[in-house]
Copies of this chain bind each other. A is one copy, B any other.
Amino acid sequence: MATKETDNQQQRSSQELPVVLVNRLPSFRLPSKPPFEDDLLSHFHLLDPHDSPEPYDYFLSRHASSIRALITVGPTPVTAEFLNLLPCLGLVVGTSAGLDHIDLPACRSRGIAVTNASAAFSEDVADCAVGLLIDVLRRISSADRFVRGRMWPAKKEYPLGFKLRGKRVGIVGLGSIGSEVAKRLSAFDCSIAYSSRKKKPSVPFPFYANVGDLASNSDVLILCCALTEETTHIVNKDVMIALGKQGVIINVGRGYLIDEKDLVQCLVRGEIGGAGLDVFENEPNVPKELLGLDNVVLSPHRAVMTPESFEALLQLTVANLKAFFSNKPLLSVVSNE
C-alpha cells in the first residue's frame, strides 16, 4: 500500500514537471546509472515512446503539443520529417560530441536550439587520440600481441617504433577536442599546426586553410572536426599522399571524415605509415583488410566512454534543460548558421 501511494505521488508530481521527449533508436538507451536517471527524473517528465505500448506515431501525436524539448540519445537521427511531428519543439539536446545525425538546417529554419555534449567528452576524446597516437608510433598494441603470442623468447627483437618529440602534428578541427589534443601533445614537444573553417585569432599555432597543405607540412594528422557536408571525405587519397609514407592518421571524429577505401589502400600499399582509428564509415563493421595490419590500432568508437564522462554528460544535459525551461542561456549551444 505504502509503495502504491508513493508511486501515485511520483506520478502526480512528474505530471507537473516540464516534459522532455527521449528520442532513441530501440537499441540505444540513456545511461541507466541511477544518478543519471534520478537527477533527470526529479526535474523532468521524460517521455519515451519505446516504453509505451502505443504505436510510435500515435504516442508522439498525442503528446506533441506538450513537447518543447527532446534529448536525442547517441546517434539517434533527428530528421526534418521527425521535427515536423513536434510543432512546439524549441530545443534538441544532443548527447554526443558530433551532431551529424541532427538535421541542423531544419532546426535553424524552425528556430530550434541545439546543444551538443563536446564539453563533457572533449578531455576523454583527446586522451584517446593521444593514446592512439602513442600506440601507433610506439607500436604498443602490436607489441602486446607479440608478447601474448609468446614470440618474445623466440624472436628476441621487436621492430622499433618512432619518437613523439618533434613530430609535426596537424589537427583538423581545433574546437574543444582539438584544443585539448594540442595541450597534451605540446607537453610531448610535438609541434602543432591546425586547419579549421576559420583561422582562430587567439591561437598561437600555424593555420592552414587547406587540409592538403596541412598534411604536406605534418607527420601526423589528427581528425577532431565535426562531420558535415564540407568535411565528408576531407581526407582522401591526395591528402594521404601529401602526408607521406611515414605519416600517421588518427581519427577520433567520424568515419566519413576519411575516404575509407582510400585509407585501406594507402595503408595496405604503405603509402602512409599507420593509423589509429576509433571510428569507421560503416560501424560496427571494420574493413577486413585492416584486421591483419600491425601499423593500425582499432578501437570500437569508444573515445568518449568513461564513467566520469557519463557523469559530466548528465550534468550538462540537466543544466541545458533547466536553462531552457527557465529562459536562461544554454550551456553548450551549437552555433547553427
Q: Which residues of chain A from 276 to 316 have a CB within 8 Å of any chain B CB?
A: 283-286, 291, 297-300, 302, 305-309
A148's partner among B152, B162, B291 (CB-CB below 8 A) is: B291
A297's partner among B140, B164, B165, B309 (CB-CB below 8 A) is: B140
- Complex interface: chain B residues within 8 A of A160 (CB): 302, 305-307
A141's partner among B130, B144, B189, B285 (CB-CB below 8 A) is: B144
- Complex interface: chain B residues within 8 A of A283 (CB): 152
Cα A283 to Cα B158 with chains together (Å): 14
Stretch at the interface among A12-20, A179-187, A202-210, A319-327: A179-187
Task: Assess whether A143 is in contact with B187, with CB atoms less than 8 Å apart.
Answer: no
| A186-214 interface code vs B (CB 8 A; 1 in, 0 out) | 11110000000000000000000000000
Interface size class of A (residues with CB under 8 A): 35 or more
Task: Assess whether A135 is in contact with B131, with CB atoms less than 8 Å apart.
Answer: yes
**Would you call A270 an interface residue if the criterion is a C-beta within 8 Å of the partner chain's C-beta atoms?**
no
CB distance from A238 to the nearest CB of B (A): 28
CB distance from A134 to the nearest CB of B (A): 3
Copies in the complex: 2
**Would you call A124 an interface residue if the criterion is a C-beta within 8 Å of the partner chain's C-beta atoms?**
yes
CB distance from A158 to the nearest CB of B (A): 5
**Would you call A156 an interface residue if the criterion is a C-beta within 8 Å of the partner chain's C-beta atoms?**
yes
**Given A27-B156, A127-B134, A188-B127, does the pair A161, B298 have CB atoms closer than 8 Å?**
no
CB distance from A297 to the nearest CB of B (A): 5
Cα A307 to Cα B161 with chains together (Å): 8
Q: Offer 25 A-B interface pairs, CB within 8 angstroms, sorted by A.
A: A123-B164, A127-B188, A128-B138, A131-B134, A131-B135, A131-B138, A131-B140, A135-B141, A139-B302, A140-B299, A141-B141, A144-B297, A144-B299, A150-B291, A152-B286, A152-B300, A153-B284, A158-B300, A160-B305, A162-B306, A163-B306, A165-B308, A184-B184, A184-B187, A186-B187
CB distance from A310 to the nearest CB of B (A): 8
**Would you call A146 an interface residue if the criterion is a C-beta within 8 Å of the partner chain's C-beta atoms?**
yes
Question: A139-B302, A152-B300, A184-B184 given. 5 additional CB < 8 A pairs?
Answer: A123-B164, A134-B134, A135-B141, A153-B285, A166-B308
**Would you call A41 an interface residue if the criterion is a C-beta within 8 Å of the partner chain's C-beta atoms?**
no
Task: Assess whether A134 is in contact with B138, with CB atoms less than 8 Å apart.
Answer: no
CB distance from A273 to the nearest CB of B (A): 13
- Complex interface: chain B residues within 8 A of A128 (CB): 134, 138, 140
Cα A289 to Cα B278 with chains together (Å): 29
**Would you call A334 an interface residue if the criterion is a C-beta within 8 Å of the partner chain's C-beta atoms?**
no
Task: Assess whether A161 is in contact with B305, with CB atoms less than 8 Å apart.
Answer: yes
| A111-128 interface code vs B (CB 8 A; 1 in, 0 out) | 000000000000110011
- Complex interface: chain B residues within 8 A of A266 (CB): none
- Complex interface: chain B residues within 8 A of A163 (CB): 123-124, 127, 306-309
